[in-house]
Each structure stands twice: as C-alpha cells, then as structure tokens.
Homo-oligomer: A and B are copies of this chain.
Amino acid sequence: MDKVVTLSEAVASIPSGAHVALSGFAITRATMAFAAEVLRQGIRDLTVSQCVGAMDADLLVGGGAVSRILYGGGSLDRFGRLACVNRAIEEGSIVAEEYSSLSMVFRYMAGALGLPFVPIRSLRGSDTLAHLEEVAPSATAYVDDPFTGDRWLALRPLNPDVAVVQVQVADPEGNAWIYGPRWDNEEQVKASKRTIVITEQLVPTEVIRRDPERTVIHGFRVSHVVRLPFSAHPTAVYRAYDYDADHIRLYAEAAKTPEGMRAYLDKYVYGVKDHWEYLELLGGVRHLTKLAADPILGY
C-alpha cells in the first residue's frame, strides 16, 4: 500500500490537542521541517514527548503550539539550552512532566508491549519524582513485588496519538531503517497509535526485503510516508548530513529572547511557503552540499 504524501498532507492529519512523540535527540534527527509545517498550519495545544528534549520540541514550544511536554530533560548540547522550552517552564506557560531517559522509554516500552504498568528503580528519592507527582499524579504509582514484597515505583504506559520519526531509509508502505543509535524511536513507534515516517531516501519494498534485520519500523504501523531531503536541518542525520553549526548557533542566540525567537520564526518558518523555500532561503544546493555526510565517517 503506497502511503507517500507531501509533508503538508501528513501534518494536516494531526488535530490540535494531539499527543505527538518526536524522534529528535538534542541536535540529531529532530523533526524540524515537520515542526515548521505544524506552526504554519496553526495546529495548537499539542502534547509532545521524547526521552531527551531536542530542537524540534523547542521550535514547537517557541511557536506556541505546545501546552504539555513529557521529556527527560534536554539541551542543544554545547550550542546551548532548549531556550524556548526552559522559558515556557519558568513562566509556567506549558506543563512539563519531567522524567529521566529510562523512565520515559520504559513508559513507551510498556505502551508498546501492552504492559499495564512497568516497575522501575529510577526517580525514587529525587525531587524530579516529587515534582512529577504534582503535575502528573496519574503517571506513577507504587506496587509491591508479589515475589519479594519489596515496594517499587510503577510507571503508567504511554501511547501517543502519533509518532513522527525522521529516518534514513523507508519504502512506500512505511517499512523503515534507522542508521546509528535509535534511542527511544523504536519504542515511540510501537507505543503510538500510528506513525508518520519522514525519510531521506525512499526505496522500493524490494530493497527492504534484501536486509530485513534492519527494519525497525513496521509498515503496518505507518499512516503516512514523507520523502523530504534535509528535513531535519539544522540538526544532523547520521550517514546523510551533518548538523548546520552556524544555523544552530543563530537559532540558539535568537531563542534567548521572545523577540529574537519571534524574528527567527517570521523569517525561517512563517517567511517561507514550505520546506523547499526554506532550503532556498538557507542558500539552496550550494549551502546544503557543504553539509553532506562523509560516507565513512557518517557526518
């Protein structure tokens, strides 16, 4: 079944208020083109989740599309903080459920495996848990190990409405491969009601059948497949292109103030019709060619 559509068609399938799991990790495989299109379409009141906060979540929060975030903390690595997310938390303009990387991925895993809950050693004794119990009292509970009687923290399964995942290779059905570490992406996809795959390379299913051990996303879980080059820009896609350090610095500087962020959005999100215009604004083929990954190094 051919599920290939344009980015705007895929984004249009997401209603305001939906829970969207994002594939980004800091400055890599972040769903940037997706986030920009969400803002252009005026989708609002989203819940976004990911184990480690990334630039995609920061752009969505900066554009006012998010009312709740579930994440394990995050940054732009050495480029700086997730300024928009942090400011929104400090101002109380979004509700932030803060976890750790493992407690987030265990919530996705429980959702994926159909477990009613999952016990975990993390979070206990921390203010992170104390804060979480305030903002999301139904996300955690305590359970006694029926074998030893020991008390354990239990996490509620997480089942997002849709996972949006940036991959290197996919076929028209949505069967997809991810090169490099996959962090929480497999569990996000398996826990979500459906998945939107955004891929660098679109290949015939014939190619998938040649190396099926690599297929970490099953086609039947996928509702839309979008083939869009540099759709994670300015973040990196391993074996495809490197992060655009200059642009991330420009973003990090702009995001420090609401005014700066406003100007960034006006120019790079609202100032362009779509991702193709965005790429031209950056300098088109000439600029993007500089980011192409070395085939051996992968960056």
Contacts and interface: CB of A to CB of B under 8 A. Distances in A.
B141 A147 contact: yes
Nearest to A153: B146
B152 A147 contact: no
A298 to B, nearest CB: 11
Interface string A110-137: 0000111111010000000000000000
A213 interface: yes
Contacts of A116: 119, 145, 147-148, 150, 152
Majority-rule SS of A interface residues:
loop
A289 interface: no
A115 B121 CA distance: 9
A290 to B, nearest CB: 26
A142 B147 contact: no
Given A146-B143, A213-B179, A117 B119 contact: yes
A142 B144 CA distance: 11
Contacts of A144: 143
A208 to B, nearest CB: 15
A52 to B, nearest CB: 19
A199 B11 CA distance: 47
Interface residues on A, range: 20 to 34
A146 B150 contact: no
A232 interface: no
A92 interface: no
A154 to B, nearest CB: 5
A166 to B, nearest CB: 16
Nearest to A148: B116
A121 B117 contact: no
A6 B119 CA distance: 41
Contact of A117 (B138, B147, B156, B213): B147
Contacts of A213: 179-180, 214
Nearest to A296: B210
* Candidate in A117, A152, A179, A180 with the most chain B CB atoms within 10 angstroms: A117
A115 B155 CA distance: 12
Given A116-B148, A143-B146, A180-B213, 20 more contacts: A114-B121, A115-B118, A115-B119, A116-B145, A116-B147, A116-B150, A116-B152, A117-B119, A117-B145, A117-B146, A117-B147, A138-B147, A141-B147, A142-B146, A143-B143, A143-B144, A146-B154, A147-B154, A147-B156, A213-B214
21 contacts: A114-B121, A115-B118, A115-B119, A116-B119, A116-B145, A116-B147, A116-B150, A116-B152, A117-B119, A117-B145, A117-B147, A138-B147, A141-B146, A141-B147, A142-B146, A143-B143, A143-B146, A146-B154, A147-B156, A179-B213, A180-B213
